[in-house]
């Protein structure tokens, strides 16, 4: 029944992992709290139940600018919806409310301040309210980063409508905020759903600022004219960069708070695909819901991980592969420290410093970026991700950096641990500066002992050593000092392996993780989408997202029947848009001799985007590294031995094991799969808690089970147990 509505109105064949459970909770009349990352599919959790409930669903949202698009999108799917907010005249508002009162609307969006108005309260009392959905629910909490005083109006809804179930949804909430939401909204015995914050389709990487502009343009070229946001710290910076990009032939505009009236227009041009690249201060992106942003770049260092996660979160809402790039150089720290030093309030200053430390650690430590991000939010990622720069490079590019490391550490010690990386590099390279002469550093044994590394490369090694914990870099004018770990690295038997330096490699390398689709057909479909969107005055994604267009360009559906199998094509869209898109596909297919690949495949049509796991890069080097692990597995070695012989972490090996098992190669690693009572207990835990949150399962089974063991067992259960969906 729900599934029928899902296909008919939204064109999807299946639910994303927790959607169905959430909807059942709502339909049972339970209060429900949903924590799910951006792009997780939250809106459907109330939109679909709204269709099968009698009466009207009230959606409270602070994002006024989005309401029209959301309502347009629903109408485009044949769902009667409306909104009231301050952008409408009172006549228009009365119209909407009359239609709602007459039962002509299933979904009504309102801004929170509306709830305080007596006329609106009277309307609510007279309407048949079936469900209250509170979107961006973290706005109710003073502890969150986006507190909206108007949200406090919501607490009275519960009292006024004690029998109407409430569903609250948010993408960001710490434990404290979560508790606040529950109590402020007066949720009763609620079902709480917490999905992982992980965004598997986003690839995270950090680059030093060497060749920064060139790196930026290669990323922009990689994504051609697809939507991209480049964040800069200052207004001036956005304008300068946008104009350089423009003179280099990129279509880019600047956006910042000083632009006044233009801002709305720039936002519209971006949403409507008139301009692909926006160079912006953080003000940009708050109120936009564009699902197909392929690239988010931080050209300057943001102020915290929270911010960084939120801003990168704007990429890839549609689930397709997207890049998040951070540029960082150790000197950035000094700049930020300077500003932090100006903060007067002690507690505030300390807080800012802690946030900066966490972010710098994210940028410097050569461990899986995704793991660190999630760890920051208290979530444990079961394995390294293979979708960040560290994981992609961990298995391939490392070099023996023992000698250069020891030279650097000695130089730091000999110069008294009172200087920064620049001075240390100049001493090592035999520089002749005033400072060197003044301190007599040209008479040290470490003077002029490096000629195979440039100053820049030495600094890069320094920043990796900081990352590895061999050096610390502290103070407003950063000075280096050697840690205990660093002293150990000076022992004769020590060995230091580091990732290959960025400054020696020429271009960023990209794995190809895109699905195989016909790019020229895709471009034709995109222009049709743009034209139809302009005709109708809606954003292009309201017509179709990138996922359906890519599927069309991959499977060449040429009849209504096969067109309907495309994800995102429901009955209304087939009816309204089918003919136009089919014509383009048919013409193209005829011209190039492509057959309709969906004929006779109604059961296994295009795989849904989540099943195909687009974020995981399957580069050749990774397939190769799994093969190497497999060879050692066949010798039945313990995991830690395999890890040390392959010079990767244990988690990486566990990841390989899980992949081998899930690909059906159980034999290779069967000796690592838990058995008997242990396996039974794990199976039970996954059955009760589902397969997506390893953390919940770990809580259930207890500490005597390691994450490694759970991951291997999960892979095994998935292939041996048909009910075990991912
Ligand atoms: P959120 O509000 O959590 O950020 P959205 O509700 O905007 O997420 O959904 C994100 C994307 O996922 C949208 O493009 C939406 O159409 C798509 N989506 C939602 N549910 C499904 C589903 N069951 N199958 C396929 N795609 C889905
Ligand atoms: Zn990673």
pLDDT tens readout for residues 165-195:
999 999 877 788 889 999 999 999 999 998 8
Q: Which CATH superfamily is domain 519-603 in?
A: HRDC domain (1.10.150.80)
pLDDT-based confidence at residue 109 (cuts at 50, 70, 90):
very high
Has residue 411 got a pLDDT over 80?
Answer: yes
Which pLDDT does position 692 carry in this prediction? 53
- Inter-residue contact 303 to 336 (CB < 8 Å): yes
The fold for domain 621-720 equals: Arc Repressor Mutant, subunit A (1.10.10)
* DSSP state string for 287-301: T---TT--EEEESS-
Per-residue pLDDT, averaged over 372-385, amounts to: 83
pLDDT-based confidence at residue 558 (cuts at 50, 70, 90):
very high
* 409 vs 417: CA distance, rounded Å: 10
Question: Which atom of ligand 1 is nearest to 37's Cα?
Answer: 3
Question: Could you read off the pLDDT of 303-340 as tens digits, one per residue?
Answer: 888 889 989 999 999 999 999 999 998 788 888 888 88
Residue nearest to atom 15 of ligand 1 (CA): 41
Residue 183's CB: how many other CB atoms inside 10 A? 12
Q: Does the CB atom of residue 22 touch ligand 1 within 6 A?
A: no
* DSSP state string for 475-513: TTTTEEEE-HHHHHTTSTT---EEEPPGGG--S------
Angle at 679 between CA 674 and CA 680, to 5 degrees: 165
* 241 vs 299: CA distance, rounded Å: 10
Which pLDDT does position 145 carry in this prediction? 67
What φ, ψ does residue 9 adopt, rounded to 5°?
-95, -35
HEC profile for 221-263?
Answer: HHCCCCCEEEECCCHHHHHHHHHHHHHCCCCEEEECHHHCCHH
Per-residue pLDDT, averaged over 445-472, amounts to: 85
Which pLDDT does position 238 carry in this prediction? 95
* Residue among 309, 465, 301, 473 nearest 375 (CA): 309
If you measure from the C-alpha of residue 355 to the centroid of ligand 1, how many angstroms do you get, rounded to a whole number? 31
Which pLDDT does position 476 carry in this prediction? 64
In the Cβ-directed half-sphere of 241, how many Cα atoms lie within 13 Å? 27
Question: Could you read off the pLDDT of 3-47 as tens digits, one per residue?
Answer: 999 999 999 989 988 899 999 999 999 999 999 988 889 999 999
Question: Could you read off the pLDDT of 414-442 as tens digits, one per residue?
Answer: 999 999 888 999 999 998 888 999 999 99
Per-residue pLDDT, averaged over 652-680, amounts to: 85
If you measure from the C-alpha of residue 581 to the centroid of ligand 2, how many angstroms do you get, rounded to a whole number? 39
Q: Does the CB atom of residue 548 touch ligand 1 within 6 A?
A: no
For residue 109, give the 3-state DSSP assignment: strand
Q: Does the CB atom of residue 201 touch ligand 1 within 6 A?
A: no
Which pLDDT does position 723 carry in this prediction? 54
Which pLDDT does position 260 carry in this prediction? 76
Question: Could you read off the pLDDT of 277-302 as tens digits, one per residue?
Answer: 999 987 777 667 799 999 999 999 99
If you measure from the C-alpha of residue 443 to the centroid of ligand 1, how many angstroms do you get, rounded to a whole number? 65
Which pLDDT does position 613 carry in this prediction? 32
For residue 32, give the 3-state DSSP assignment: strand
Q: Does the CB atom of residue 314 touch ligand 1 within 6 A?
A: no
Pairing of strands 202-207, 322-327: parallel
* Residue among 76, 71, 132 nearest 105 (CA): 71
Which tokens sit at 168? Answer: 């609250």
> From the CA of 169, which ligand is nearest?
1
Which pLDDT does position 449 carry in this prediction? 92
Highest mean pLDDT of the ranges 318-322, 597-601, 714-718:
318-322
Which pLDDT does position 19 carry in this prediction? 94
Which pLDDT does position 210 carry in this prediction? 77
What φ, ψ does residue 284 adopt, rounded to 5°?
-85, 135
Q: Does the CB atom of residue 15 touch ligand 1 within 6 A?
A: yes
Per-residue pLDDT, averaged over 621-645, amounts to: 79
Has residue 48 got a pLDDT over 90?
Answer: yes
Output the average pLDDT for the chain. 86
Q: Which CATH superfamily is domain 2-194 in?
A: P-loop containing nucleotide triphosphate hydrolases (3.40.50.300)
* Residue among 124, 117, 121 nearest 100 (CA): 124
Q: Kindly give the interhelix angle for 369-376 and 346-364, rounded to the nearest 10 degrees.
A: 160
* 275 vs 253: CA distance, rounded Å: 8
- Residue-wise burial string across 587-626, b where 16 or more C-beta atoms lie within 10 A, e elsewhere: ebbeeeebebbbeeeeeebbebbbeebbbbbebebbeebb
Has residue 506 got a pLDDT over 50?
Answer: no
* 235 vs 254: CA distance, rounded Å: 8
CATH code of 398-499, in short, is 1.10.10.10
CATH fit for domain 202-392, picks 3.40.50.300, 1.20.1440.120, 3.40.1360.10, 3.30.360.10:
3.40.50.300
Q: Does the CB atom of residue 12 touch ligand 1 within 6 A?
A: yes
Domain ranges within the chain, ordered by starting residue: 2-194, 202-392, 398-499, 519-603, 621-720
Per-residue pLDDT, averaged over 521-545, amounts to: 93
Question: Which atom of ligand 1 is nearest to 318's Cα?
Answer: 14
DSSP 8-state secondary structure symbol assigned to residue 580: H
* 124 vs 116: CA distance, rounded Å: 12
If you measure from the C-alpha of residue 108 to the centroid of ligand 1, how many angstroms do you get, rounded to a whole number? 19
In the Cβ-directed half-sphere of 142, how many Cα atoms lie within 13 Å? 2
3-state DSSP percent of the chain in helix, strand and coil, to 5 = 50, 10, 40
pTM of the model: 0.66
If you measure from the C-alpha of residue 7 to the centroid of ligand 1, how many angstroms do you get, rounded to a whole number? 13
pLDDT-based confidence at residue 276 (cuts at 50, 70, 90):
very high
* 433 vs 155: CA distance, rounded Å: 67
Q: Which of 36, 41, 109, 610 to mutate to test the pocket of ligand 1 (most atoms within 8 A of CB)?
A: 41
Which pLDDT does position 397 carry in this prediction? 53
Pairing of strands 252-255, 471-474: unpaired
* Residue among 463, 468, 496, 473 nearest 207 (CA): 463
- Inter-residue contact 218 to 507 (CB < 8 Å): yes
Residue nearest to atom 20 of ligand 1 (CA): 41
* 256 vs 282: CA distance, rounded Å: 8
Residue nearest to atom 19 of ligand 1 (CA): 41
> From the CA of 59, which ligand is nearest?
1
Which pLDDT does position 45 carry in this prediction? 97
Q: Does the CB atom of residue 545 touch ligand 1 within 6 A?
A: yes
* 556 vs 649: CA distance, rounded Å: 43
Angle at 724 between CA 718 and CA 725, to 5 degrees: 95
pLDDT-based confidence at residue 355 (cuts at 50, 70, 90):
confident
Has residue 583 got a pLDDT over 60?
Answer: yes
Which pLDDT does position 568 carry in this prediction? 93
* Residue among 694, 721, 722 nearest 709 (CA): 694
Residues of the chain with pLDDT > 90, as a percent, come to: 48
DSSP 8-state secondary structure symbol assigned to residue 604: T
Per-residue pLDDT, averaged over 235-245, amounts to: 94
Q: Which of 133-147, 196-210, 579-593, 620-634 has the lowest mean pLDDT?
A: 620-634
Q: Which of 123-127, 235-239, 457-461, 507-511 has the lowest mean pLDDT?
A: 507-511
Q: Does the CB atom of residue 38 touch ligand 1 within 6 A?
A: yes
- Is 202-392's fold the same as 519-603's? no
pLDDT-based confidence at residue 694 (cuts at 50, 70, 90):
low
If you measure from the C-alpha of residue 651 to the centroid of ligand 2, how many angstroms do you get, rounded to a whole number? 11
- Residue that wins the pLDDT comparison between 718 and 361: 361
Q: Does the CB atom of residue 316 touch ligand 1 within 6 A?
A: no
Which tokens sit at 169? Answer: 């949804």
* 591 vs 148: CA distance, rounded Å: 56
If you measure from the C-alpha of residue 420 to the centroid of ligand 1, how many angstroms do you get, rounded to a whole number? 48
Question: Which atom of ligand 1 is nearest to 608's Cα?
Answer: 25
Q: Is 101 exposed, middle or buried (0-12, 13-18, 19+ CB in 10 A)?
A: middle
Question: Could you read off the pLDDT of 51-65 as tens digits, one per residue?
Answer: 999 999 999 998 888
Which pLDDT does position 403 carry in this prediction? 92
Q: Kindly give the interhelix angle for 331-341 and 346-364, rounded to the nearest 10 degrees.
A: 170
Has residue 602 got a pLDDT over 70?
Answer: no
pLDDT-based confidence at residue 725 (cuts at 50, 70, 90):
very low
For residue 132, give the 3-state DSSP assignment: strand
Element (H, E) at 165: none
If you measure from the C-alpha of residue 391 to the centroid of ligand 2, how many angstroms do you get, rounded to a whole number? 4
Q: What is the number of helices (H) and of strands (E) in the chain?
A: 33, 17
Which neighbouring-strand residues pair with 277? 228, 252
Which pLDDT does position 607 carry in this prediction? 47
């Amino acid at each position: 029944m729900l599934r029928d509505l899902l296909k008919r109105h939204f064109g999807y064949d299946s639910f994303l992992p927790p959607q169905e459970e959430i909807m059942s909770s709502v339909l049972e009349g339970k209060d429900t709290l949903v924590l799910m990352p951006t792009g997780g599919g939250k809106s459907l959790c109330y939109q679909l139940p709204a269709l099968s409930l009698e009466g009207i669903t009230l959606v409270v949202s602070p994002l006024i600018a989005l309401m029209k698009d959301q309502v347009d999108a629903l109408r485009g799917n044949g769902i009667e919806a409306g909104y009231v907010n301050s952008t409408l005249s009172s006549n228009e508002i009365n119209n909407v409310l009359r239609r709602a009162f007459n039962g002509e609307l299933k979904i009504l969006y309102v801004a929170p301040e509306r709830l305080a108005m007596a006329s609106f309260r009277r309307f609510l009392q007279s309407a048949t309210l079936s469900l209250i959905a509170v979107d961006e629910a973290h706005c109710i909490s003073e502890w969150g980063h986006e507190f909206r005083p108007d949200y406090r109006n919501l607490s009275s809804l519960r009292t006024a409508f004690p029998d109407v179930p409430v569903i609250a949804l948010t993408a960001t909430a710490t434990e404290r905020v979560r508790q606040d939401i529950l109590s402020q909204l007066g949720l009763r015995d609620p079902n709480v759903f917490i999905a992982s914050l992980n965004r598997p389709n986003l690839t995270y990487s950090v680059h030093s600022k060497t060749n920064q502009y060139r790196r930026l343009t290669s990323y922009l070229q990689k994504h051609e004219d697809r939507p991209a946001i480049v964040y800069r710290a200052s207004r001036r910076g956005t304008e300068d960069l946008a104009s350089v990009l423009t003179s280099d032939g990129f279509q880019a505009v600047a956006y910042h708070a000083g632009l006044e009236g233009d801002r709305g227009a720039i936002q519209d041009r971006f949403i409507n695909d008139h301009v692909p690249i926006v160079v912006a201060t953080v003000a940009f992106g708050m109120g936009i819901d564009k699902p197909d942003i392929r690239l988010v770049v931080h050209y300057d260092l943001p102020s915290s991980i929270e911010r960084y996660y939120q801003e990168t979160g704007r990429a890839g809402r549609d689930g397709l592969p997207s890049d998040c790039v951070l540029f960082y150089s150790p000197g950035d720290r000094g700049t930020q420290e300077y500003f932090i030093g100006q903060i007067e309030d002690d507690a505030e200053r300390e807080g800012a410093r802690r946030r900066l430390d966490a972010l710098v650690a994210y940028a410097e430590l050569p461990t899986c970026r995704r793991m660190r991000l999630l760890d920051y939010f208290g979530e444990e990622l079961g394995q390294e991700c293979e979708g960040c720069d560290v994981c992609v490079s961990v298995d391939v590019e490392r070099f023996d950096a023992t000698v250069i490391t020891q030279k650097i550490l000695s130089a730091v010690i000999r110069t008294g641990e009172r200087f920064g990386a620049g001075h240390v590099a100049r001493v090592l390279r035999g520089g002749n500066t005033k400072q060197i002469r003044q301190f007599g550093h040209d008479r040290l044994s470490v003077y002029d002992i490096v000629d195979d590394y440039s100053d820049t490369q030495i600094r890069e090694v320094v920043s990796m050593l900081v990352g590895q914990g061999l050096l610390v870099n502290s103070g407003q004018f950063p000075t280096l000092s050697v840690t205990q770990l660093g002293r150990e690295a000076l022992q004769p038997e020590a060995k230091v392996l580091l990732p290959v330096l960025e400054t020696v490699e020429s271009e960023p390398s990209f794995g190809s993780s895109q699905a195989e689709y016909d790019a020229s057909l895709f471009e034709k479909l995109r222009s049709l989408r743009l034209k139809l969107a302009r005709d109708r005055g809606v954003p292009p994604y309201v017509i179709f997202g990138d996922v359906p267009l890519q599927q069309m360009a991959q499977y060449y559906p040429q009849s209504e029947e096969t067109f309907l199998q495309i994800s995102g094509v429901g009955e209304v869209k087939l009816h309204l848009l089918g003919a136009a898109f089919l014509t383009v596909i048919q013409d193209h297919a005829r011209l190039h001799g492509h057959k309709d690949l969906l004929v006779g495949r109604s059961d296994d049509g295009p795989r849904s985007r989540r099943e195909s796991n687009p974020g995981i890069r399957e580069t050749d080097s990774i397939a190769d590294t799994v093969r190497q692990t497999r060879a050692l597995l066949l010798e039945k070695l313990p995991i830690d031995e395999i890890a040390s012989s392959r010079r990767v972490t244990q988690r990486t090996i566990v990841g390989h094991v899980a992949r081998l098992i899930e690909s059906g190669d159980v034999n290779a690693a069967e000796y690592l799969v838990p058995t008997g009572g242990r396996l039974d207990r794990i199976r039970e835990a996954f059955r009760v808690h589902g397969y997506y949150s390893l953390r919940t399962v770990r809580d259930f089974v207890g500490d005597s089970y390691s994450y490694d063991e759970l991951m291997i067992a999960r892979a095994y259960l998935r292939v041996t147990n048909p009910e075990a969906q991912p």
